[in-house]
Amino acid sequence: MAALLLLFLFLFASSALCQDSLIGVNIGTEVTDMPSPTQVVTLLKSQNINRVRLYDADRAMLLAFAHTGIQLIISVPNDQLLGISQSNATAANWVTRNVAAYYPATNITTIAVGSEVLTSLPNAAPVLVSALKYIQAALVTANLDRQIKVSTPHASTIILDSFPPSQAFFNKTWDPVIVPLLEFLQSTGSPLMLNVYPYFDYVQSNGVIPLDYALFQPLQANKEAVDANTLLHYTNVFDAIVDAAYFAMSYLNFTNIPIVVTESGWPSKGDGPEHDATVENANTYNSNLIQHVINKTGTPKHPGVPVATYIYELYNEDTRPGPLSEKNWGLFHTNGTPVYTLRLAGAGAVLANDTTNQTFCVAKEKVDKKMLQAALDWACGPGKVDCSALMQGEACYEPDDVVAHSSYAFNAYYQKMMKASGSCDFKGVATVTSTDPSRGTCVFPGSAKSNQTLGHNTTALAPSANSTTSGCFQHPQASFDNLTFFSFLLLIALVFL
């Protein structure tokens, strides 16, 4: 009894001290200069993002996420769907190579089997549920089925007549797939994954949907959309689509399957007729969406029931085919600087992405070492940079290589020139980053660590890439407060022993 009480108190305390923000991001791969996996993880940690969805199961990425605590959705790509759906051995091999080899060091929580298969790859629809079942069976064999869920993301267009939400239903063409899929999700306790894009609903409505309604902007009471059947009031498109999915499931007698929104966002740039793909609208939508999710507002049908949501996406994908808007859904450029600064007053440290004044200049990876050495010699000579910290025995001497030394010298010059345009180029061997390159006692010029004051510097306090405190920003005073809090709970437990 005492042990159970202690366990309860520990879980309660953990919940109170480290809340999951329920906000995640998608990381696409169609990027010219994709940052290294370590750089990606460092950015995520600095933004206190504790949920990530990958569109594959890349080995380097999975290794980089080890011991971070970040919750990962990994994916079976559509081109592997057929093979897995036809062979239990193929599925077992996939789980062995991509899950068991990394778990639990890498916190894989979900496997997404395919992506928008019903709408983007309809010929594979008949094998979709088989693929999910084979992956699930492989997890059972590996004793990982209780820790890792299996599902598949859908486009919201599989739901017809989404307004009013109470009349929504799944496209009956897919009933032979949807019904067994929902049976599988219910039996395994897995979520329905849904990609929700109010941007497309707004654009395709030809003016019927007001822009403010799509952007989560405040509406006058007489302009809220009202479901005549339930009298529920809807103030934004996002909630209406999520509730349409709930109602569509209940129409088929499935009422206890949670929903996870695996993609949602707004493009920051467009061309031609894409007039509303702007930085201002993207900022407004994502800022309001994040606030909505973090507040655990729920939806009109299920108020207070949080909906975990993954922003599409972390980086702009400059090589993605299609119109200009398809390349501009990212929150960040690949150098770690934000596309725009989210307006998240009161939302805590999650995605507080104002890194505009936290930029540094570092050496590019995989460039000619002779060019780096020449640029380093110039910075420490004609460039008049103080390179004394790079001398043997000084704080930034180690590691003794041209890349590390060049990064320090380039950044010193960049900061000295007040981050002026062109001051971080060095004939193409340098790049700007928002990730503080300081390490240990080697503090780079411009780093907040150089005059760190506890309690006021969120950048200096951001977790490192291999920290295990993912997503839980800890105030410097927290260690004392937490100790006091746990001592109080332990005292309570002892009273009841």
φ, ψ at 4 (rounded to 5°): -65, -40
Which residues lie across from 261 on neighbouring strands?
A: 194, 309
Residue 274 known to be catalytic: no
3-state secondary structure the chain: CHHHHHHHHHHHHHHHHCCCCCEEEEECCCCCCCCCHHHHHHHHHHCCCCEEEECCCCHHHHHHCCCCCCEEEEEECHHHHHHHHHCHHHHHHHHHHHHHCCCCCCCEEEEEECCCHHHHCHHHHHHHHHHHHHHHHHHHHCCCCCCCEEECEEEHHHEECCCCHHHCEECHHHHHHHHHHHHHHHHHCCCEEEECCHHHHHHHCCCCCCHHHHCCCCCCHHHCEECCCCCCEECCHHHHHHHHHHHHHHHCCCCCCCEEEEEECCCCCCCCCCCCCCHHHHHHHHHHHHHHHHCCCECCCCECCCCCEEECCCECCCCCCCCHHHHCCCCECCCCCECCCCCCCCCCCCCCCCCCCCCEEEECCCCCHHHHHHHHHHHHCCCCCCCHHHCCCCCCCCCCCHHHHHHHHHHHHHHHCCCCCCCCCCCCCEEEECCCCCECCECCCCCHHHHCCCCCCCCCCCCCCCCCCCCCCCCCCHHHHHHHHHHHHHHHHHHCC
Active-site annotation holder among 116, 313, 317, 365: 116
Q: What phi and psi values does residue 150 have, to the nearest 5 degrees?
A: -130, 130
By residue count, the chain amounts to: 497
Neighbours of 34 (CB within 10 A): 16
Is 116 marked active-site?
Answer: yes
Catalytic pick among 263, 317, 394, 398: 263
The catalytic residue positions are 116, 263
